[in-house]
Amino acid sequence: MTDFSKGDRVSWATPQGRTQGEVVEKKTSDFDFSGKTFHASKDEPAYVVKSEKTDAEAAHKGSALRKLSDKDD
């Protein structure tokens, strides 16, 4: 399992294809986001990410994210 930190550049799948952005927040307990309940724990955290293209925020499990280097575009 990859652990992400605030500010890490990541990519994730969307219906339109992969997009990229950065981790805004790491969640280690259940939380509500955009009208949905997300389950998270210390062992399986969830992350709030912000798109570089649209500034929209989304929540994802760590398994849905892929870490990018600063030179990946």
Q: Where are the domains of the chain?
A: 9-67
Q: DSSP characters for 13-52?
A: EETTEEEEEEEEEEE-S-EEETTEEE---SSS-EEEEEET
pLDDT for the residue numbered 26: 97
pLDDT for the residue numbered 31: 97
Q: What tokens appear for 14 in the block?
A: 């969307």
Confidence of residue 2 (pLDDT cuts 50, 70, 90): confident
Q: How far is CA 15 from its chain centroid?
A: 16
Distance CA 35, CA 17 (A): 23
pTM for this predicted structure: 0.89
Assess whether pLDDT exceeds 70 at residue 6: yes
pLDDT tens per residue, range 9-58 = 999 998 889 999 999 999 999 999 999 999 999 999 999 999 999 999 99
User: How many Cβ atoms from other residues are within 10 Å of residue 21's Cβ?
Assistant: 22
